[in-house]
A and B are shown apart, each in its own frame.
Chain A
Amino acid sequence: MNLAWADIRHHVLRFFLTTIGVGALFTATIGMIGLYRGVVYETLLIINDVGADIWVAQGHRAGPFAELSEVSGTLDRRLEGVPGVSQVRRFIQFNQQYEINGRRLRMAVTGLDFPKDKGNWIPLIAGRHFYAGHYEAIADQSLGFTVGDQIRLGHDDYTIIGVAAGQVDMAGDGILYVTIPDAQTLNTFAPSEAILLNRMNKTAPGRSGYSAGRVGAVMVALRPGADQEQVRNYIRNWGDVEVLTRDDQEDIMLNGRLWRLRIQILAFVGMTLLVTTVVVSLSIYTMTVEKTHQIALLKLLGARDSIIVAMILQQALLIGVKSFASALLQSYVIFPHFPRTVLLLPSDLAVEGAMAIVLCAAASWFGIRKALSVRAQEVLS
C-alpha cells in the first residue's frame, strides 16, 4: 500500500488541478526555452543549410545577417579566381511588406544565384525548385501560398513554384526565395512618383536598401582539402571586403545579436522556475498541514520518519512527473499554433524534465520539515 498514492486518489480533483497549474508553469518554461531554440534555428537556418564555407561581405561589416552589407554584383567573378574556391554564389536578403489579395504580408525576400543555385537545398513540402531565371518564387508555408498561386510584387507577377517548411528569418518573417535579378528588381522597386522626385533631387538621401546591381554578400564553397584560413587571408588582403566563415557567422549571431535575448529568456526561465517552486512548495505544505493529524497517528503507530518523508516526497515527485507530462502534452498541442517556431529539442526536454523532478523534490522540503515536527501525542489533542 502506498500512502502517497492513496492520498492522491482520495483527493484526485485537487491533485489534477495542481498538476494542470504546475504543468502550465512548466509549459511556459518549455515554451521560453523552445522559443529561444526556435529563434536560434531560424537565425542559423540559411547559414547552416545553404552550403557556404565562407561569406564575403562589405568591408568592416559583419554582414549580411548581423549588419547591412552591400557588395558589388560582380564580386563573384573576382572570387572565382581565388585558389581553393570551388563555387561562388551571390546572396541578397531584405524584408519587405506587400499587400497581396487584401492581406498585408511581411516577407524576407531572399535572392538565389540561379542557375548556380536552383534552391535544391530548400526543404520543399510541395512543388519544385527553380527552372527559370525570372518570375518564379518558392515560399515558406507560413506565407499562406500554394503551388501555382500568382502574386504581384512590384510591377511583376510571380508564380509560386514551391512551398517550403520552416523557412523563416531571424525576425520570424517567412522567406520568399526568388532569383538574384528578381530580388534586385524588387529591392529597387519604387512608385513612379518617387522615381520622378529622385531624379529631380539628386541630393536626396538614398534608400535604405541595396543599390541597383549590388548584392548583400557572396557565398564561397571551398574545394575539398582547401585551407580555409589561407583562402580567407587571400580575400581579406584585397582590403575592400570582410571575410567570415560559417563559425564566425554563428558566433556573431549567437553571441552578438541574440545575446540579450538569451539573457532575457534565461531570466524569465529562472523567474518561472522560482514561481513553480513556490507553488509546489505551497501545495505540498498545505497538503502536509491538512494531514497533520494522520501524520501524528502514523507516528503514534510507530512509523519511522522515513515513512513520513517518503509519503511527502513521493507526492511531490508525482506532482512533478504528472505536471511535466501535462506540460509536454500542452506544449505539443499548443506550440505548433504559435506564430514563431518553438523548437522542442529532446535534449532540452530531458534537462527540463530532470529539473522539474529536482525542483519538486526540493519544494517538498517545507512539507517534510513540517511533518517531522509533528508529535505523536498530537493525536490526543
Chain B
Amino acid sequence: MSAAPLISVSQASKVYRIGDAQVRALDEASVEIRAGELVGILGPSGSGKTTFLMIAGLLDTPTSGRVLFNGRVISKPETNLNQLRDFRRKHLGFVFQKANLIPFLNATQNVQIALQINGARRRYAAQRSRLLLEQFGIGNRAKNLPSQLSGGEQQRVAIARALANQPELILADEPTANLDSARGRQVMETFRRLADQERIAICVVTHDLRCVDLFDRCITMSDGRPTVQ
C-alpha cells in the first residue's frame, strides 16, 4: 500500500448557522485515505459522517481547513463550488443509500450519462456502460428502467455509474442500508474487489457493522471528530 495518501482532509471544520445558533457539524477533522484502501466511516446519527462525506466529496467547502488530493490543495474555505465540479467529475465516484438512478433513463443510459457528462463520445460511452453492467451481472437488464429493477440491481447500476469515469476515489453513503444482508454483503465485496484490483480508494459511511471485516480501517466519528482510526 502506497504511503502517500490519495486524499487528505486536513483540520476541516464545518459550521452551520441556524438562526443565532452555530452548529459545528465537523470539528477540525483530519482523515487520510490511500489508493486501494477500503475505509469505513462509522458513528451514530449526527456525528458528522455525512458532513465529512460532503467535504471529502467536494460537494461543500470547509469553514476552515482544507482538502488535498495527491498532495495538492483542492478545496479550502474560499474555493468556489463550481471549480470543484470539474475535479469531482474526473476523479470521484459516488454511491448512495438510494441508488438515485434517473427514472426516465434505462440502466445503460444511467451509466452512460456519467460518461457523456465527462465528454465521452456517445458510442464509447454506450459500449463502456454495457461492459460495466455485464461485469456486475446485470447486462441482461441493460434496457430496463430503474422501476423495473430490484433494489440490489439498482444499486449495482449505481456502482457501475460511479465507476464509469474510472475514479480514483469512491465515496459511498450507507450503500447497503436498503439491501438485505446477502445483497449488502455482495455490494461490500464488490468494493473490496475494486479496492484490491483497481486500486481505487473507497470510503464508506455506514451504520452496518456486519461487513466491517472487509474494511482495511474503520474511522468512528463522534461530535464531528474522528475519534478512533
Asked if B113 and A376 sit within 8 Å, CB to CB, the answer is no
Interface residues of B in 92-137 (CB under 8 A from A): 94, 96, 100, 102-105, 109, 112-114, 116-118, 122
Say whether chain B's binding surface is mostly helix, strand, loop, or mixed. Answer: helix
Cβ contacts under 8 Å, A304 to chain B: 85, 117
Identify the stretch in B52-60, B72-80, B190-198, B212-220 within 8 Å (CB) of chain A at 4 or more residues. B52-60
Asked if B88 and A1 sit within 8 Å, CB to CB, the answer is no
Say whether chain A's binding surface is mostly helix, strand, loop, or mixed. Answer: helix
User: Which residue of chain A lies nearest to B118 when distances are taken between CB atoms in the complex?
Assistant: A302
Interface residues of B in 12-63 (CB under 8 A from A): 50, 53-54, 59-60
Expressed in whole angstroms, the Cα–Cα distance for A119 and B78 within the complex equals: 85
Asked if B100 and A302 sit within 8 Å, CB to CB, the answer is no
Expressed in whole angstroms, the Cα–Cα distance for A303 and B60 within the complex equals: 16
Interface residues of A in 294-339 (CB under 8 A from B): 294, 297-304, 307
Asked if B50 and A302 sit within 8 Å, CB to CB, the answer is no
Expressed in whole angstroms, the Cα–Cα distance for A275 and B199 within the complex equals: 58
Name the distance in Å between A308's Cβ and chain B's nearest Cβ: 10
User: Which residue of chain B lies nearest to A294 when distances are taken between CB atoms in the complex?
Assistant: B102
Asked if B85 and A379 sit within 8 Å, CB to CB, the answer is no
Expressed in whole angstroms, the Cα–Cα distance for A307 and B88 within the complex equals: 16
Identify the stretch in A6-14, A120-128, A234-242 within 8 Å (CB) of chain B at 4 or more residues. A6-14
Give per-residue flags for A1-34: 1 if the beta carbon is below 8 A from chain B beta carbons, else 0. Answer: 1010011011100000000000000000000000
Does B143 belong to the interface (CB within 8 Å)?
A: no
Interface residues of A in 258-287 (CB under 8 A from B): none
Asked if A298 and B122 sit within 8 Å, CB to CB, the answer is no
Asked if A297 and B117 sit within 8 Å, CB to CB, the answer is no
Give per-residue flags for B150-188: 1 if the beta carbon is below 8 A from chain A beta carbons, else 0. Answer: 000000000001000000000001000000000000000
Name the distance in Å between B182's Cβ and chain A's nearest Cβ: 26
Does A377 belong to the interface (CB within 8 Å)?
A: yes
Asked if A303 and B96 sit within 8 Å, CB to CB, the answer is no
Partner of B88, one of A6, A7, A293, A302: A302
Expressed in whole angstroms, the Cα–Cα distance for A251 and B52 within the complex equals: 76
Cβ contacts under 8 Å, A1 to chain B: 105, 109, 112-113, 116, 122
Partner of A380, one of B54, B86, B103: B54
Interface centre among B53, B102, B105 (most CB of A within 10 A): B102
Cβ contacts under 8 Å, A300 to chain B: 59, 88, 94
Expressed in whole angstroms, the Cα–Cα distance for A377 and B105 within the complex equals: 21
Interface centre among A293, A301, A303, A375 (most CB of B within 10 A): A301
Name the distance in Å between A193's Cβ and chain B's nearest Cβ: 79
Asked if B85 and A299 sit within 8 Å, CB to CB, the answer is yes
Asked if B89 and A301 sit within 8 Å, CB to CB, the answer is yes
Expressed in whole angstroms, the Cα–Cα distance for A199 and B145 within the complex equals: 91
Expressed in whole angstroms, the Cα–Cα distance for A7 and B173 within the complex equals: 27
Asked if B85 and A302 sit within 8 Å, CB to CB, the answer is yes
User: Which residue of chain A lies nearest to B59 when distances are taken between CB atoms in the complex?
Assistant: A377
Asked if A9 and B89 sit within 8 Å, CB to CB, the answer is no
Asked if A9 and B100 sit within 8 Å, CB to CB, the answer is no
Asked if A380 and B114 sit within 8 Å, CB to CB, the answer is no
Asked if A11 and B104 sit within 8 Å, CB to CB, the answer is yes
Asked if B54 and A377 sit within 8 Å, CB to CB, the answer is yes
Asked if B117 and A7 sit within 8 Å, CB to CB, the answer is no
Expressed in whole angstroms, the Cα–Cα distance for A9 and B106 within the complex equals: 12
User: Which residue of chain B lies nearest to A302 when distances are taken between CB atoms in the complex?
Assistant: B89
Name the distance in Å between A124's Cβ and chain B's nearest Cβ: 57
Asked if B109 and A302 sit within 8 Å, CB to CB, the answer is no
Cβ contacts under 8 Å, A377 to chain B: 54, 59-60
Cβ contacts under 8 Å, A379 to chain B: 94, 96, 100
Interface centre among B53, B100, B161 (most CB of A within 10 A): B100
Partner of A303, one of B59, B90, B103, B117: B117
Name the distance in Å between A7's Cβ and chain B's nearest Cβ: 5
Asked if B105 and A6 sit within 8 Å, CB to CB, the answer is yes
Cβ contacts under 8 Å, A297 to chain B: 100, 102
Expressed in whole angstroms, the Cα–Cα distance for A304 and B117 within the complex equals: 8
Asked if A301 and B53 sit within 8 Å, CB to CB, the answer is no
Name the distance in Å between A318's Cβ and chain B's nearest Cβ: 14
Expressed in whole angstroms, the Cα–Cα distance for A318 and B86 within the complex equals: 30
Cβ contacts under 8 Å, A302 to chain B: 85-86, 88-90, 117-118
Binding site for B on A (CB under 8 A): 1, 3, 6-7, 9-11, 293-294, 297-304, 307, 375-377, 379-380
Name 14 interchain pairs, CB-CB below 8 A, sorted by A.
Answer: A1-B105, A1-B112, A7-B104, A9-B104, A294-B102, A294-B103, A297-B100, A300-B94, A302-B86, A307-B117, A376-B85, A377-B59, A377-B60, A379-B100
Known A9-B104, A302-B118; further 11 A-B contacts with Cβ < 8 A: A1-B113, A6-B109, A10-B145, A11-B104, A298-B113, A298-B117, A302-B86, A302-B89, A375-B59, A377-B60, A379-B94
